[in-house]
Chain A
Amino acid sequence: MFPPLPNPPTAPTPPRFGDKDLIRRSASSVTPPAQRQTQVAKLIDVSKCIGCKACQSACLEWNDMVEEVGVNVGVYDNPHDLTPNSFTLMRFTEWVNPETQNLEWLIRKDGCMHCEDPGCLKACPAPGAIVQYSNGIVDFVHENCIGCGYCVKGCPFNIPRISKVDEKAYKCTLCSDRVAVGQGPACAKACPTQAIVFGTKDEMKTWADGRIKDLKSRGYKNAGLYDPPGVGGTHVMYVLHHADKPEIYAGLPNNPRISPLVEIWKGVAKYAGFAAIGALAAVTVVHGLFSGASRVSSHDEEKAKEMADKPPEGTPRENA
């Protein structure tokens, strides 16, 4: 059993991280702290998950969200997609293993991956609407959010959702409020089988190694950890029985990368300066590119690369 975190103290405690620990801030620059905090991570072991949705329930309860009572559309997934109220969702896939002809019911808890290299943050034009702490948590600061939806387009995992009520973007916070007082995320706390565990990123990788060994001993020769390098690794990782085929888990991207469109946008933004009136024109132009599907077609990519390779004169390239 992964050792449970002790209960929080009853006396108020100062938060363990805050503005001083920011390493990135959307559409603005920060002075990174001299030393990064220990990086945290949530590990979701898909092979241990029983799809009970306790995580979904805990997420709604902890964040005080009221989701709509929907309908059944012939599957177990409810709600049918992430929403501004549902930051996490069990996605069920019935997959017949071509090697064994056996049915496997793959159940993946979807939600923000807290990328080390966060596409949402990079795409965000609103100063300080998206921040990244040195422990790895990527958080949305709603009072700074302008509801443009670029974070949705910037996310390689299609996670943020814009609320129709307040026109702001919402997603999993990795329970930054709980982590700030030494607790793990609510979903991990509620998970009955410890399919979700939380700790430092190193601890999680070690824990995952043990799980992968167990899975390999049971014949899952491609069992492995999902910590995609294309986004610099993530602070939410999966143990998968078939790590060679992440896409069978309800379309988990095989090699997620930030859309090159984001790079262009960053270029334009830097060049124009967000406050500048000219930026509005630039936004309009880039918005045209963004308003398509969030999935990047090869054509889009080529076009974007072309544009990215030829930044407007005098525009410094984003290197982060």
Chain B
Amino acid sequence: MTNSWTDIKNTDLVVVMGGNAAEAHPCGFKWVTEAKANRGAKLIVVDPRFTRTASVADYYAPIRQGTDIAFLLGVINHCIRNDKIQWAYTKAFTNAAYVVKEGFGWQDGLFTGYDEEKRDYNRSTWDYEIGPDGYAVVDETLQHPRCVWNLLKQHVAIYTPEMVERICGTPKDKFLKVAEMISECSSPTKTMTSMYALGWTQHSKGSQNIRAMAMLQLILGNIGVRGGGMNALRGHSNIQGLTDIGLMSNLIPGYLTIPTEREPTFDVYMSTRGFKPLRPDQMSYWQNYRKFFVSFLKSMWGDAATPENAFAYDWLPKLDVPAYDVLRAFELMHQGKMNGYFCQGFNPLLSFPNRKKITAALSKLKFLVVMDPLQTETARFWENHGANNDVNPASIQTEVIELPTTCFAEDEGSLVNSGRWLQWHWAGGTPPGEAKHDAWIMAQIHLRLKELYRKEGGPVPEPIVNLDWRYADPNEPTPEELAKELNGSAVVDITDPNDPTKVVVAKGKQLVSFAALRDDGKTACGCWIYSGCFTEAGNQMARRDNSDPDDTGAFGKWSWSWPVNRRILYNRASADVSGKPWDPSRKLLEWDGTKWTGYDVPDIAPNAKPDVVMPFIMNPEGVSRLFTRAMMRDGPFPSHYEPFESPVANVVAPKVRGNPVARVFRNDFEQFGDAKEFPYAATSYRLTEHFHFWTKHAHANAVLQPEFFVEISEELAKEKGIKKGGMVRVWSKRGSVTAKAVVTKRIKPLICDGKTVHIVGIPLHWGFIGEAKKGFGPNSLTPYVGDANIETPEYKAFLVDIEPIAGPVA
């Protein structure tokens, strides 16, 4: 989230699209009901289904799954056509005026530079024209035909309300009503918040779905302000923490990147991470990258990381592919190239697409270690459970080792919520049976590996034997010790650069923030964005003061928010170019003539002059990007692409299947079905009664939603002779499931480009162990393809067929 849960109460308009907040985030949704009750805020829901969120919405519009970009670009087009733009914001705080290189273009659904063979772009034209002064060329008048604004205008022009209706199936009047409500938020005194979740991410163009809304929010002037923002609702209570500390194969903590094999030395690695400002006087905060990176290496290898060995840069792995994401991992397993798998807090057998392939891949492993507080289907993938897990145990040789771990209520530590708050929690109970904390298990594995490397050597033992492991009890680092390490400390006495006799931070002391980090090895810090969470003043994450001066929703003394306890990112943008709040009633920061003051920690140098230093300090431009240069693999603007399995052809690019640069493994092309064979558009989702695959183990939750079902419209039920509560079979090119049928008015057939599209809704949550009835997950049916940028699997849009079968009819 750019903002926080509590800030949602400040909004005028909530747009829930690509999510179902009431269903999947009922506790956070209270802030929507607050905004509605106290400010008269309106709620819009755009979704293929009339959801629980829609049940309390002011306006609902249907949309076909996988067409959000067409809808959003349609809204942007509507705003441009009707001059509903927050002009002062757009001109000053976005790259609308930047001139793009000659040669860039878009035709037949593709941007310049497409290589069909490689399924990739040469992105060299996707950038700004650089002037003789070394800075990007801008045209403040927005007259230049190649300035971002004009390119955007041209790019979205095809997404007329009629086109939106053809692609999305959203009736034109409903689309226009939504577009009008949204466009009203271009006023500097009206804000809109975007709440989204997996309904946008789990597509082969998931990142671009989000970008499309971010662009809309920028031209409405809704980023950095109270009640605005792009607010990703995270699915697990600590999934924000997972990405923060870099639990992705291509990241290291704090959104730094793992080197690739094209970066064999520290200097080569740093040469592309200079982040020189693209405009004069801009902060371009990533210029401090070296400080963050060196401090990270120091926290990893301590005294063994020295300036002489480039702070042990060689010991970091070097990626030979863009990422070892989950799809690649299981592809390698399937090819027999990955023989062992550690599965910690994950249930891949039900979570990853194309379950048949997952089962086959796990069956080829030599060993599988499952660390989980609960029994998982993955640990039992080899067990026959009739139709629900139809395998032959005798043919599977994989050795499965289960290590029971503790659940969140049995350990201490911090959880990072969607709003970037690190909230410390304490153990509420003792672990049952043989369950152990994850940190204990990891420590045991590490210590044993270290011993083996010491005794027996082997290739590159250094990263393991030199890993800094100075914990009071090496067998079990405590949560406090780990948190302190993430915060960072001084490796030696750090002195004032102006007065070397004055010690600023004494050796071993905790750092106050990342501003104290050094690139010479004098500081160690595990995760730079967390620096400040556990200082000499104590554990800031454990703060529980819920005071909120002037009722701004900031709650600045409750827990700790990264970075530097800032509650709203880009908050400098809440004030105009002279430093006055756009909306005085929603003041966040204000320039008092010499410095920034207000309710939040300024997201800019406190003395940075408002008309000189622009608010988007992480970008070398200083402004935000409507055109994202070459930073995304599938285009500097979002563009409508159909899901890989779509009931209709792509109206704007008939020749393109799916996202043209989404990665598809060679043999996986065969797994895609087409609309002739599989006529119905399926989507998957969660239900409020359950949490992923956990709560089917809890009796009360199993009572509330006991049995796997699929949802269809009354129209489709009639057409197929399916009865409410009757049994159905649903199958795709990859697998088949049986389920109860929920026949509902909440799903309606859509008319897309003249064709009737029926939707089949398939909830997740059921497996073959636990208290709930045995069932299936949607992953038996979903295709093995992910987002072009971050490989999130396309769970939200695929094709199936459905038929009634014999079975209990209610």
Given A71-B773, A72-B742, A78-B704, A50:B40 Cβ within 8 A: no
B66 within 8 A of A: no
Determine which of A47, A66, A71, A75 lies in contact with B706 in the assembled complex, contact meaning CB atoms within 8 Å: A71
Instruction: Let me know if B808 is at the binding interface, CB within 8 A.
Output: yes
Smallest CB separation, A239 vs chain B (Å): 12
Residue B771 interfacial (CB < 8 Å) = yes
Going nearest first, the 6 A-B pairs with the smallest beta carbon separation are A73-B810, A74-B725, A74-B724, A50-B22, A105-B55, A72-B707
57-102 of chain A: CB within 8 A of chain B: 57, 60-61, 66-76, 78-79, 86, 94, 96, 102
Known contacts A57-B704, A94-B744; 11 additional CB pairs below 8 A are: A48-B37, A50-B52, A50-B55, A51-B52, A71-B706, A73-B724, A74-B723, A103-B60, A105-B746, A107-B52, A210-B37
Task: Name B729-766 residues within 8 Å CB distance of A.
Answer: 740-746
- Chain B residues whose C-beta falls within 8 Å of the C-beta of A47 in the assembled complex: 56
A316 to B707, CA, bound (A): 55
- Does A53 make an interface contact (CB < 8 A)? yes
Stretch of A135-143, A145-153, A157-165, A211-219 on the interface side: A211-219
Cα–Cα distance between A47 and B58 once the two chains are bound (Å): 11
| CB of B314 closer than 8 Å to a CB of A | no
* A79 touching B703, Cβ below 8 Å: yes
Residue B688 CB within 8 A of the other chain: yes
A218/B58 contact (C-beta < 8 A), A69-B703, A94-B745, A94-B746 known? yes
Most central of A56, A60, A78, A107 by chain B CB within 10 Å: A78
Task: Take A71-B740, A72-B740 as given contacts and tell me if A103 and B773 are in contact as well, using a CB distance cutoff of 8 Å.
Answer: no
Contact of A67 among B33, B53, B703 (CB under 8 A): B703
- Please, how many angstroms separate the alpha-carbon atoms of A194 and B60 in the complex? 23
Q: Tell me, in angstroms, the Cα distance from A73 to B37 when the chains sit together.
A: 35
The answer, yes or no, to whether A192 is at the interface (CB within 8 Å) is yes
* B703 CB contacts on chain A under 8 angstroms: 60, 67-70, 78-79, 86
Q: Pick the contact of B55 from A66, A107, A194 — CB < 8 Å?
A: A107
The distance in angstroms between the C-alpha atoms of A179 and B530, with both chains bound, is: 43
Please list the residues of chain A having a beta carbon within 8 angstroms of any beta carbon in chain B: 1, 47-54, 56-57, 60-61, 66-76, 78-79, 86, 94, 96, 102-107, 192-195, 210-211, 214, 217-218
**Cross-interface CB contact of A105 among B29, B54, B700, cutoff 8 Å:** B54
Which residue of chain B lies nearest to A68 when distances are taken between CB atoms in the complex?
B703
Give chain A residues whose Cβ lies under 8 Å from the Cβ of B352: none
Q: Is B30 an interface residue (CB 8 A)?
A: yes
Query: In the complex, which of the residues A50, A53, A76, A214 contacts B56, with contact meaning CB atoms closer than 8 Å?
Result: A50
Q: Which of A51, A106, A193, A211 has the most CB of B within 10 A?
A: A193
A128 to chain B, nearest CB (A): 32
> Which residues in B have their C-beta under 8 angstroms from that of A60?
700, 703
Measured between C-beta atoms, what is the minimum distance from B737 to chain A in Å? Answer: 14
Q: Roughly how many angstroms separate A86 CA and B706 CA in the complex, as a whole number? A: 15
- B26 close to A50 (CB less than 8 A): yes
A-B contact pairs, 5 of them (CB 8 A): A48-B33, A57-B700, A69-B699, A74-B740, A94-B746
B706 with A105: CB separation less than 8 A: no
Quote the shortest CB–CB distance from A113 to chain B (angstroms): 22
Instruction: Check A56–B726 contact: CB distance below 8 A.
Output: no
B707-723 residues at the A interface, CB under 8 angstroms: 707-709, 723
Q: Given A1-B34, A103-B50, A214-B37, does the pair A74, B726 have CB atoms closer than 8 Å?
A: yes
Q: Is B190 among interface residues, defined by CB-CB distance under 8 A?
A: no
Instruction: From A51, A66, A73, A192, give the contact of B30 (CB < 8 A).
Output: A192
Contact A78 B705 (CB under 8 A): yes
Question: Given the complex of chains A and B, what is the CA–CA distance between A75 and B704 in angstroms?
Answer: 12
In this assembly, does B412 line the interface, its C-beta being within 8 Å of a C-beta of chain A?
no
Residues of B within 8 A of A49 (CB): 56
A51 touching B740 in the complex, CB below 8 Å, given contacts A61-B700, A103-B746, A214-B37: no
Answer whether residue B674 sits at the interface, using C-beta atoms and an 8 A cutoff.
Answer: no
A31 → chain B closest CB, angstroms: 42
Question: Looking across the interface, which residue of chain B has its beta carbon closest to that of A95?
Answer: B745
* B772 neighbours in A (Cβ, 8 Å): 69
Contact indicator B55/A51 (Cβ below 8 Å):
yes
| From A48, A53, A96, A214, contact of B40 by CB (8 A) | A214
- Any chain A CB within 8 A of the CB of B162? no
Chain B, interface size category, equals 35 or more
Given A52, A57, A61, which contacts B52 in the complex, CB threshold below 8 Å? A52
A60 to B702: give the CA distance in the assembly, Å: 12
Does chain A have a CB within 8 A of B663? no
In the complex, the chain B residue whose C-beta lies closest to that of A59 is B700
**Is B26 in contact with A192, judged by CB distance below 8 angstroms?**
yes
Bound CA–CA A54/B26 (angstroms)? 9
Cα-based distance from A52 to B22 in the complex (angstroms): 8
User: Do the beta carbons of B33 and A193 come within 8 Å of each other?
Assistant: yes
Q: How far is the CB of A226 from chain B (nearest CB, A)?
A: 18
Known: A76-B742, A105-B50, A214-B40. A193 touches B706 (CB 8 A): no
Indicate if the CB atoms of B808 and A56 lie closer than 8 Å.
Answer: no
How close is A305's CB to chain B, nearest CB, in angstroms?
Answer: 39
Which chain B residues numbered 563 to 622 have a C-beta less than 8 Å away from chain A? Answer: none
CB distance from A318 to the nearest CB of B (A): 40
How far in angstroms is the closest Cβ of chain B from A244? 20
Q: Inside 8 A of A70's CB, which chain B residues have their CB? A: 703, 706-707
Task: Provide the bound-state CA to CA distance between A47 and B699, in Å.
Answer: 29
Distance of A317 Cα from B55 Cα, bound (Å)? 48
Given contacts A52-B688, A71-B773, A72-B725, contact A214 B36 (CB under 8 A): yes
B50 touches A74 (CB 8 A): no
Which interface residue of B52, B724, B726 has the most chain A CB atoms within 10 A? Answer: B52
Contact B26–A78 (Cβ < 8 Å): no
Report the bound CA distance from A85 to B440 in whole Å: 41
Chain B contacts of A193 at CB under 8 A? 22, 26, 29-30, 33
Name the A residues within 8 Å of B801 (CB-CB). Answer: none
B724 pairs with A66, CB closer than 8 A: no
Interface residues in B1-57 by Cβ distance below 8 A to A read 22-23, 26-27, 29-30, 33-34, 36-37, 40, 50, 52-56
The answer to the question of B466 belonging to the interface, with a C-beta cut-off of 8 Å to chain A, is no
Cα(A53)–Cα(B704), bound, Å? 7
Q: Say whether A69 contacts B771, CB under 8 Å.
A: yes
- In the complex formed, the residue of B with least CB distance to A86 is B703
Residue among B689, B725, B745 with the highest chain A CB neighbour number at 10 A: B689
Residue of A nearest to B37 (CB): A214
Known: A66-B699, A70-B703, A72-B725. A104 touches B55 (CB 8 A): yes
A72 & B709 in contact (Cβ 8 Å cutoff)? yes
Q: Report the minimum CB–CB distance from A80 to chain B (whole Å).
A: 9
Residue of B nearest to A195 (CB): B33
CA–CA, A106 and B54, complex, Å: 11
Query: B residues within 8 A CB of A86?
Result: 703
- What is the minimal beta-carbon distance from B701 to any residue of chain A, in angstroms? 7
**A215 smallest CB distance to B (angstroms):** 10
Which residues, 189 to 248 on B, are CB-close (under 8 Å) to A?
none
**Which residues from A are CB-within-8-Å of B27?**
192
